Chains A and B, each alone.
Chain A
């Protein structure tokens, strides 16, 4: 490699050496500024805060997804969307719009989500079911449970405190959900990089056999991961209610695949063993800037979908590539 070539190709190579989370963050910034040029009035502080707020919801839904994907062996959680719906509906119903019931609702949300995640984890660890299929089936079961219990009638209300805490301005112009998201980012960094659980998670993601041989309790780590993912997805529903203020039967579905894409755009490998939550945060920002920008440009829905797909392809082409067979 000669150091003094400044061809675009060389620049691309150099850019590719940057850590993916940083690339994603730069990409989000560039998209935001491009948006400012293309749609006058797009790039202003209020819009930035609004995008960050929406990205925070997606980012919180992607926490569990990040953990599950790092755990490897085609790890993925397709029950996250249904669990988000469940979390929001539980909060809506249990709190009934009363602030003092929020802790009870939160406890119920976390426990239910954890229970669903535990079943996912047990089936994947012991019955060796492919995560994609098991969690997809579980999404059906959770949705079925929602239908069974509510019979389509969604009674309840959103507690005002929830909106004040997360959705409305809390510190200066910044809504609470952004602060919560930053805190989660720090916690996730500690969990992934500084705890035994984090080390074990990466170990089983790289290679289950070597992990087992070096003393990692693979099954336990796996079950814990899916349980956490379930609880966190339901928690995301709890937070989402602060924003939507109402619930419906497929509230969480539109967030399912974006939660996976955010993880991938953030540089976490779908094959497991490598990744970070910082990356996911940057990925969520990229997706939200893109969505908001397409909306601001006033392109009709069909065009929005096509452009979204094309840009997504371009982003993953940039650094989502796998190893060549020839190596």
Chain B
């Protein structure tokens, strides 16, 4: 115990930060948006908001699924593979003259494929008790392989109506991606008002203790992989509707950023602490960094380093605060 009592406002801040682990990332996002706005006048106009949200939405859906896996003490390195697989299904099975019925059927099939992929991960991790990172890395080969089998080359074209609907704000006011994001938030809000919340966080922080007090740890973890597979499939739907086409490697470079977004959002990789809200903010942070660098007209050979340095610093800041606090004691 320290002899010095912190000023009450600081203590309240500390309390708020531990209650809302995403508060720090929200501050970071606001700072980035202010910088972005100073470089880009129309940032908050409907057109730009719509565009940004549409680009970020697939990554947000991936990160939302990843968050639940991470909170329950796992990690899913196959989300990119699942996204590629579902992207390939959607792009090849929805012809440009598809009927509404066909469109909905194929979307349902790709969501089922995502769930099946999640079930395979969940089975490996919880029932075979394999190490999550290796299991999901191995399954990512299966999913990417299937993607490549279905769609060997980038291609496919969705009906124009679908892309037009998805790309344009409803009634010239509400961007479609914004509705999806609200949907994710409602899902998370409802989830954390049920008993599943205790199960989820319990399985991640102290699995043995949770198991001893009757939490069905294996079932909870299995469910998180199912959800992660489903969200990856939803991300594929968002990506395919946004691009109007498919790419068997679409998800290759999306897995690791989804983990970075989760951590930027204040979720602990060791499990038991975090929030989907933070991960959505994390994706927005990553997107804003790249927007800022592009509007600041940073040289293209300098940009990767600047981008990486900002991300590392952003990741390190909470650690620096903690270090300073430890040294004061």
Contacts and interface: CB of A to CB of B under 8 A. Distances in A.
The reply to whether chain A is a binding partner of chain B is yes
A31 B135 CA distance: 21
Contacts of B269: 74, 130, 132-133
Interface in B97-144: 124, 128-131, 133-135, 137-144
Contacts of A326: 211
Given A317-B128, A321-B129, A144 B141 contact: no
A305 B148 contact: yes
Given A74-B269, A303-B145, A147 B301 contact: yes
Contacts of B183: none
B301 A152 contact: yes
B18 interface: no
Interface stretch (B24-32, B187-195, B302-310): B302-310
Contact of B304 (A126, A143, A325): A143
B164 interface: no
Contacts of A261: 134, 137-138
A289 interface: no
B241 to A, nearest CB: 25
B259 interface: yes
Nearest to A127: B319
A2 interface: no
Interface in A132-146: 132-134, 136-138, 140-141, 143-145
B316 interface: yes
A137 B260 contact: yes
Contacts of B316: 123, 127, 129, 134
A306 interface: yes
Query: Most A CB atoms within 10 A — which of B124, B145, B259?
Result: B145
Interface in A290-327: 301-310, 312-313, 316-317, 320-326
Contact of A317 (B130, B145, B263): B130
B84 to A, nearest CB: 11
A309 B136 CA distance: 9
B311 interface: yes
A302 B150 CA distance: 9
B308 A141 contact: yes
B312 A130 contact: no
B139 A309 contact: yes
Contacts of A317: 124, 128, 130
A218 interface: no
B315 A270 contact: no
Contacts of B49: none
A4 interface: no
Given A74-B269, A137-B315, A302-B149, A270 B322 contact: no
Contacts of A140: 304, 307-308, 311-312
A142 B112 CA distance: 39
A4 B129 CA distance: 29
A134 B317 CA distance: 12
Interface string A244-275: 00000000000001001100100000110000
A305 B146 CA distance: 8
Contact of A128 (B75, B135, B311, B319): B319
A264 B131 CA distance: 9
Interface string A47-76: 000000000000000000000000000101
B140 A309 contact: yes
A159 B151 CA distance: 42
A316 B315 contact: no
Given A130-B270, A147-B301, A306 B308 contact: no
Nearest to B248: A302
A176 to B, nearest CB: 31
Nearest to A325: B211
A133 B315 contact: yes
A151 interface: yes
Contact of B217 (A301, A310, A320, A325): A325
A213 interface: no
A136 B145 contact: no
Nearest to A315: B138
B320 interface: yes
A143 to B, nearest CB: 6
Given A141-B305, A147-B305, A306-B146, A324 B312 contact: no
Nearest to A123: B316
Interface in B167-213: 207-208, 211
B323 interface: yes
Nearest to A322: B129
Given A137-B315, A325-B218, A306 B130 contact: no
B259 A303 contact: no
A148 interface: yes
B305 A144 contact: yes
Interface of B: 75, 124, 128-131, 133-135, 137-146, 148-149, 152, 207-208, 211, 217-218, 256, 259-260, 263, 268-270, 301-302, 304-309, 311-312, 315-316, 319-320, 322-323
Interface of A: 74, 76, 78, 123, 126-130, 132-134, 136-138, 140-141, 143-145, 147-148, 151-152, 257, 260-261, 264, 270-271, 301-310, 312-313, 316-317, 320-326
In the A-B complex, the 5 residue pairs with the smallest Cβ-Cβ separation, listed nearest first, are A144-B305, A127-B319, A309-B141, A140-B308, A305-B145
12 contacts: A129-B316, A130-B268, A133-B269, A133-B315, A134-B315, A137-B308, A140-B312, A144-B308, A148-B302, A270-B133, A305-B144, A325-B211
Given A123-B316, A303-B149, A324-B129, 7 more contacts: A74-B269, A78-B256, A141-B309, A145-B305, A305-B148, A316-B131, A316-B134
